Structure 1
């Protein structure tokens, strides 16, 4: 565990799970840059230490706690530690995940259980703990990190897709209860596209070639920007990237067509041309040692921004600009 003294007034404390690498690591930097103290949860000590070091460079307090989100008691202990060190938890970001790239017929029952325990129940555990903390002052925001795959299952990722589907169902149920109770605690779900994160070099895989993100790829900082916006503005849901919107809408209109497209291209589309080492380490059961940062191996293919996200974040401003232009044009022409 580690912490640093704040150099400027904090906006509040945010807890981020899965914070040692990938999207969680990008979130740690983005929230710290925006003036929030950050409490970081993950299993990998080296990544957590590096994430804390990066965060305090923005002049905020940062602390880490080694915990496996599949274990409720560990998540609860982490939260109490952060509450004591950093104060009231205003935001909780449920981001931790794990996966297995494998055909269903080759999956083991314990692998399904592990992915479910981390990727689905990890978010449930986070929500239960966050609600306990936030109920004291009846305020706060919980962000659930989802995926286009919360709406559409794809080949080779059955465990992950099922976990994201389950998370969406949980979020819908929780939201109605909070509305019924007239609670001031808000929840949002951010549905992400394919991202250039470290997971493709970490996850357990049975593929003959190295796994890769399928379709249009975005940098994890795009996801972090969306998650910060969701925490601060509490929309019901944010769909990041045009590929996410196409996937969700397309599956609603013609799921049978998506079945055929994915059957034809979904296997090869999730593999590079490089052979995979069947004995390489994976992070399904324990973290891979070292600091791995936020980015994966696809920097040259990844987009650094999302037009869809910018429109969502600045929609009102764009509408007012458009109205102003129309008024000016009208005045110039007719007056």
Structure 2
């Protein structure tokens, strides 16, 4: 009998690519997201391409009861959940001075509490069977925050804290439940077309940009290998290591370059969509509008085992070199 994976945020972006990666590997997949039509299209494609069972469950992960109902429905129709992947997120491109309390609350509820709700729903069922894997999708921005995305960076950092607490509790209880995190670099997803944006210019990921299939493969790897954490892409390693070495220098660099690096020269349309409070309808998929710039064939993953051995020296050397270049640009 096929294993069962639940993927949140599965209607588009990394979640959509991850759902397909699990289906390709033979998993039956429950797809959680807010837009029913897009979710049904995604599930239909997985059924026809891979012959698996794909169950679309319209769900707002900010609603803990809705996540619980989705978990119940998954087990009733597909069977016991083997893997739960928390991907759903929301962000706002704006300085803190222009955010509202409602926007902060909503972004935090989706990005942080959405993963908390997923962890709790999955653990409740996996604890009974003493097996299963929970994969949280994090970000390099959980370690090194950037301007204009305080909501997202704060939520991703909070996920790290909650995950580490839960991991110790799982070890204390002697459970054979694996908890892991995959930290991502910039990815070519629709978020740059539908995230709430108050900057007047269309947002963009900071290169190098990865196609969503790259993190999808890393997520499947994390689900099937006993790793505490996976850093995806050398840019993630450089950001994390550099911030550990000289955070003050990075603060100054981002103060100077962090705004323009996230904004294109294209004016933001007056009717630009925003998915913060309501889903944006339309035929969005895994990819955003940056296919010409994104790379798909270079799969760089750095696990905790790698970091403790060969990659540690390489990461530090790269961090020092990067800091040297930053210092020269800042004139310090």
TM-score by length of 1: 0.89
Inter-partner Cα distance in structure 2 for 1:46 and 1:232? 30
Residues 50 and 314 of structure 1: CA distance in aligned 2, closer, same or farther (over 3 Å)? farther
* Alignment-derived partner of residue 12 in structure 2: 21
Contact 1:218/1:305 (8 A) holds in 2: no
Q: Which runs of 5+ in 1 are unaligned?
A: 1-8, 320-335
* Alignment-derived partner of residue 132 in structure 1: 124
Contact 2:227/2:303 (8 A) holds in 1: no
Residue 267 (structure 1) aligned to one of 259, 270, 276: 259
Residues 110 and 183 of structure 1: CA distance in aligned 2, closer, same or farther (over 3 Å)? same
Tell me how large the CA RMSD over aligned residues is.
Answer: 1.5
Q: Secondary structure at the match of 1:293?
A: coil
Contact 2:9/2:89 (8 A) holds in 1: yes
Which is greater in Rg? 1
54-63 or 122-131, larger mean C-alpha shift: 54-63
Residue 182 (structure 2) aligned to one of 179, 190, 213: 190
Residue 38 (structure 1) aligned to one of 29, 45, 48: 29
Inter-partner Cα distance in structure 2 for 1:61 and 1:307? 28
Q: Secondary structure at the match of 1:217?
A: coil
Aligned length, in residue pairs: 306
Contact 2:94/2:197 (8 A) holds in 1: yes
Q: Secondary structure at the match of 1:262?
A: helix
User: Displacement of 1:184 after TM fit?
Assistant: 0.3
Inter-partner Cα distance in structure 2 for 1:164 and 1:312? 19
4+ residue runs over 6 A deviation: none
User: Displacement of 1:58 after TM fit?
Assistant: 0.4
Contact 2:227/2:304 (8 A) holds in 1: no
Q: Which runs of 5+ in 2 are unaligned?
A: 311-332
Q: Does 1:119 align with 2:119?
A: no
* Alignment-derived partner of residue 149 in structure 1: 141
User: Displacement of 1:307 after TM fit?
Assistant: 4.5
User: Displacement of 1:283 after TM fit?
Assistant: 0.4
Contact 2:91/2:196 (8 A) holds in 1: yes
Q: Secondary structure at the match of 2:300?
A: helix
